[in-house]
Each structure stands twice: as C-alpha cells, then as structure tokens.
Amino acid sequence: MKPVSGGIENARICGVSCHVFVSFCLLVAIACTGNKSRLPPPTGPVTLTIGLPVQTGEDSLHGAKQAAGLLSFEGLSYLARDGRPQPKLAERWIESDDGLTWTIHLRQNAVFHDGSPVDAEAVKRSLERSKNGSERAFRPGLSDITGIETPSSTQVVIRLAQRSTFLMDDLNVAIVKTSNNGQVGTGPFVTTSTSPTEIVMTVVPNYYRSKPMIDRIVWKAYPAVRTAWAAMMRNEIDFLYEVAADTFEFIEPEESVRVFPFLRNYVYAIALNTKRQPFDSRDVRRALNYAVNRRTIIDLALKGRGKSANGPAWPQHWAYDSTIPDFSFDPPRATALLDGAAVRALRPNIDNKQAPARFHFTCLVPQNFALWERMALIAQRDLAEIGVDMQLESVSFSTFNERVAKSDFDAVVMELVVGNSVSRPYFFWHSRGLLNAWSYSNGKVDEALDGIRRAGDDKSYREAFRSFQVESIEDPPAIFLALPEVTRAVTKRFHVVAQPGSDIIATIPEWRLSTAEDVTN
C-alpha cells in the first residue's frame, strides 16, 4: 500500500503574459514621484489591490479570471513545482498494490462557500461532471476512471481500468457544487462582483484552513505597464500582477517594492503542421530547431528573463534529466539536414515576388500579442539565413483559435503548457491527444508518454520520462523557443509569504500587513 499525505502548497498559474515595452524616461519620472512611506496604520478591513497590465485587447481581465479561480476553487490535490501531487481537499490517499484502486480520505472540516460540507457524495458528483465534460480533454487521468464509490462521508474510492500516474495529478480539477448562481467552490475567497475592468473578491470567513488576514481582493485592469506602475507609486494598487521584462531593472531597485520572479510552466513554440509538406519530415523539423538562436530570443524578446527550451518537458519536474543534449544554434548542421532531406532552393515566384528559398510557409500570429510576434520575427530572420522563408500572418484572436482548432495552418506561434504534470503535454503531443491540432505522431513518443502514465514506480517513471525527452528532440513536433520568467511586484505594505521559485499567488491567503520590522528586514 502506498499512502501519500502532507506537503507545502504551490499552484500552477495559467495566465496570459503581459510584456509591454515602456520608455526609460517615463519609468524614471514615475519612480521619482513615488511615495516611499508604505506603512499607513491599518484601519478597517484589509484590501489587496492587484493591477493587471493589458496586452491583447481581447479580454482585459483574462489573467485575473484564471488567478481568481485558484483562490476560489480547489481540487482534491494540487501539483508542487516538481510535479509531485500533494493533498488539498484530500487529507491523504492510498493506492492499492495493483494501482487500480485509490482510497481518498477527505478533510473533515472542509466546506463549500454556502457552508455545506465537502463530503464524499458531493465530491463524487463533481468528479463525474468533470469526467464527462470538457475537463476530460485537459486531464487525461480522468479518462482512466471506471467507477467512483462512497463507502463513507469522508472516503471516496476510485476504480481505474489501468494503473495511472495521471490520476492524482488530474484530481487537482476543482471540486464544485452547482447552483442557480453558478458554481460554488471551497477556496479562501469568493468573487462577489465583476465588470469589464474589475473583479472583487471577499474572504470566506469559515474557510477550513483558517480565515485569511486579507478581507478583500480587487483586481484592476490597466491599459499598460506604465499606468499600472504609476498607480502603484501613488499607493492605488499593492500588487503589480506581471512586470514586463524590459521594465524589471527600473522596478527592482524601488525601495518600497519587492519583486518575486519564477519560471512559468509554459513554453513558447512555433508548432508545425506535420500533415503538410515539408513538415512531415523529422529532418526538416530538426533543421529548423538548429537554425534558431534561442539565446537571441531570450536576450531581445524576453530581456534575458527566460530559459532556453528544446522540447515539451517541464525542466523543474522531479524526473527531468538535465544531462540530455539540447538543440544548439548550428546553422551549418541545419543546412546539412535540409540537404539530406533533399529540400533544395526554389526558383523565385515572379507573380508574388518571393525571393528564392528552399521552401516558403506561413506562421499564424494572433493580433496584439506583441511578444509572440517579436519572437516570431527573430525566428523568421534566423530561418532566412538557411534559405527558409517564414511569412507571418496576423489574425484576430478568435480567428486564430478557430484556425488552430481546425488545423488550418502551416505553423503557429503560441505558448503551450508543459507542466507541472506530464498529463499536460500528453494531450498536445500524444498521437491520440485530444488537443493535438498539429497531427504529430511518433510511436516512440507515444510509448514514452504511456510509460509515464502507467509507471508502477519512480524508476520506470524516470526511464519513460527520459525517453520522452530524447524522442522529442530526435523528432521535434515544433520549434521550441523559450520558457519565460515571470515577475510579480508587491509593495512592502504587505508581508508576502514566498516559496523560492514559485508563484506568490498561491500564498495570498497567508499574507498579512507588514510591520515596521518586516520592512526593515
């Protein structure tokens, strides 16, 4: 029997990155007018105001809605940074020796926002809705469930068709009740009002892990980083949700603000439609990966704040093998691979005046995603050096999503989740993955992903994970570019609980107003 319990909590944040270019002079001017006195005496309820710079124009509070959900809704488990599932609404769980039966012991004091208990029947109903709904596409572990039983009010027994390491990973799906007003969660805060530019959340007094010291959270949208930063300097907001990479150097020295960087578990990539020539050739896809200078992308687009990416595996996962060679920047090798694949230079097309190239293709880019476009332009320049012509096609975000869903593209620049669980890349890159819009199919990759999913111990899991890494480099499904480093900024008015390298959003329920001693330390 394999019992699991305990753990320090983190959470995966799935938000849209806000990278906005601002001028040096404006930032300095704003910083110089800032009020350095950050400890007004607390009076009345404590409000945390979070400012979100808007980058896309599609949905001003997209990132806030996702982050707010993490504070309102909880699963039976949550994923630590290293990919290990940890208890949340579940107090502990026990796996049978054959891996086909899991007994989940619920926390006896957990309640929904309406005060009703999080008992076994409520959990069963919620899991069955998730298993039969859209969540199934994003959490393949739910598909392994064949039955859910409730032997007592505090126990849920889950039966599986096959052993599944994805089960507890994917049981981080929110446990909710349904009502006429929508879904009812169990988290420490609940959303009480929304508008196109603001979300207001209030504390849940009877939260089972003890009432947070923050009474109210207000999420506000701002048209740019500079306006959000100016609001912080005027004491209008306490928390800058995301600091643009090229403004970090100006914000970091600010005496009244602390910054908290972490590596986001998404990879920027140019996904290639493997049903279309010449992307049906692995040598062509390898050549394109060798042709792109990731260091330049990190330096110029991410302003040095990111990590080179060579595949769809999460580099902070406990099973990750850092000794596997990465794609280097090697144009001669890229050229040799194209020569070996018999991809020769084409004659110019007189009608559309295209320059001679080995081949031409179009890459979709959503409008108003300046960072994505900048990375694509750098890759475009590098590919041109080996005689490959990539043209960018800018479309609305809704059109972008429609065309990706229909596989109506040669290539597409986007960000793809890589962790913390392997169940996340599984649905993108397995040949039967429900979100495999690029028609990628590799028997060895499938075998590795299935090996991870069905592993009976850490050794076999680690071996399968290594195979996934190796095969994703031998036969890359995309041009993998970089993983971004995201930075949050918080005024010293609040004492922030921060786990190294993790997102501080998850610890907001543990924050409090700072004391004079906190600020001086």
Summarize pLDDT for 138-150 with one digit per residue, the tens: 899 999 999 999 9
Confidence band, pLDDT 50/70/90 cuts, at residue 22: very low
Which residue type sits at 195?
S
User: Mean pLDDT over residues 457-475, rounded?
Assistant: 97
168, 173, 174: which is closest to 422 by C-alpha?
168
Share of the chain above pLDDT 90, in %: 72
Structure tokens at 377: 């332009």
pLDDT above 80: residue 516 = no
DSSP 227-279: HHHHHHHTTS-SEES---GGGHHHHTT-TTEEEEEEE-SEEEEEEE-TTSTTT
Share of the chain above pLDDT 70, in %: 85
Q: Domains in the chain, start-ordered, CATH in brackets?
A: 24-72+187-256+492-520 (3.40.190.10), 74-180 (3.90.76.10), 266-484 (3.10.105.10)
Sequence-distant (6+) residues with CB within 8 A of 221 are 52, 54, 60, 61, 64, 196, 197, 198
Burial, 462: exposed, middle or buried (Cβ in 10 Å; 0-12, 13-18, 19+)? middle
At residue 501, the pLDDT reads: 86
Of 344-348, 415-419, 505-509, the poorest mean pLDDT is in 344-348
More confident residue, 351 or 277: 277
Q: Which residue has the tokens 């890159």?
A: 429
User: Mean pLDDT over residues 248-255, rounded?
Assistant: 64
Q: How far apart are the first and last CA of the chain?
A: 46
* Cα gap 263→258, rounded to integer Å: 17
User: Mean pLDDT over residues 494-516, rounded?
Assistant: 92
Peptide bond into 278 cis (omega under 30): yes
Mean pLDDT score of the chain: 87
Of 174-188, 248-262, 265-279, the poorest mean pLDDT is in 248-262
User: Mean pLDDT over residues 172-178, rounded?
Assistant: 95
pLDDT above 90: residue 123 = yes
* Cα gap 344→8, rounded to integer Å: 55
Peptide bond into 368 cis (omega under 30): no
More confident residue, 5 or 181: 181
Tens digits of residue pLDDT in 257-290: 899 999 999 999 999 999 999 999 999 999 999 9
Q: Which residue has the tokens 């971004």?
A: 484
Confidence band, pLDDT 50/70/90 cuts, at residue 9: very low
Structure tokens at 414: 């986007």
At residue 423, the pLDDT reads: 94
Q: How far is C-alpha 97 from the chain's CA centre?
A: 33
Confidence band, pLDDT 50/70/90 cuts, at residue 182: confident
Rg (alpha carbons) of the chain, rounded to whole number: 24
Biggest distance spanned by C-alpha atoms of the chain: 75
At residue 35, the pLDDT reads: 42
Backbone angles phi, psi at 271, to 5 degrees: -75, 140
At residue 51, the pLDDT reads: 92
Q: Which residue has the tokens 């850092």?
A: 322
At residue 38, the pLDDT reads: 45
pLDDT above 80: residue 81 = yes
Count helices and strands in the chain by DSSP H and E runs: 16, 23
pLDDT above 50: residue 358 = yes
Strand bridging mode 257-263 / 478-491: antiparallel
At residue 254, the pLDDT reads: 65
At residue 136, the pLDDT reads: 78
Confidence band, pLDDT 50/70/90 cuts, at residue 347: low
* C-alpha triplet 434, 439, 445: angle, nearest 5°: 80
pLDDT above 80: residue 351 = no
Tens digits of residue pLDDT in 44-67: 799 999 998 876 555 667 778 888
At residue 459, the pLDDT reads: 98
Of 153-157, 232-236, 316-320, 338-342, the poorest mean pLDDT is in 232-236
Of 11-25, 76-90, 256-270, the poorest mean pLDDT is in 11-25
Tens digits of residue pLDDT in 206-244: 999 999 999 999 999 888 777 888 888 888 999 999 887
pTM of the predicted model as reported, rounded to 2 decimal places: 0.86
* Cα gap 85→167, rounded to integer Å: 10
Tens digits of residue pLDDT in 431-447: 999 899 999 999 999 99
pLDDT above 50: residue 23 = no
Tens digits of residue pLDDT in 392-407: 999 999 999 999 999 9
Instruction: Kindly report the three-state secondary structure assignment for every residue of 398-445.
Output: HHHHHHHHCCCCCEEEEEEECCCCCHHHHHHHCCCCCCCCCCCCCHHH
At residue 66, the pLDDT reads: 84
Confidence band, pLDDT 50/70/90 cuts, at residue 43: low
Alpha-carbon torsion 121, 165, 6, 486, what sign?
Answer: negative
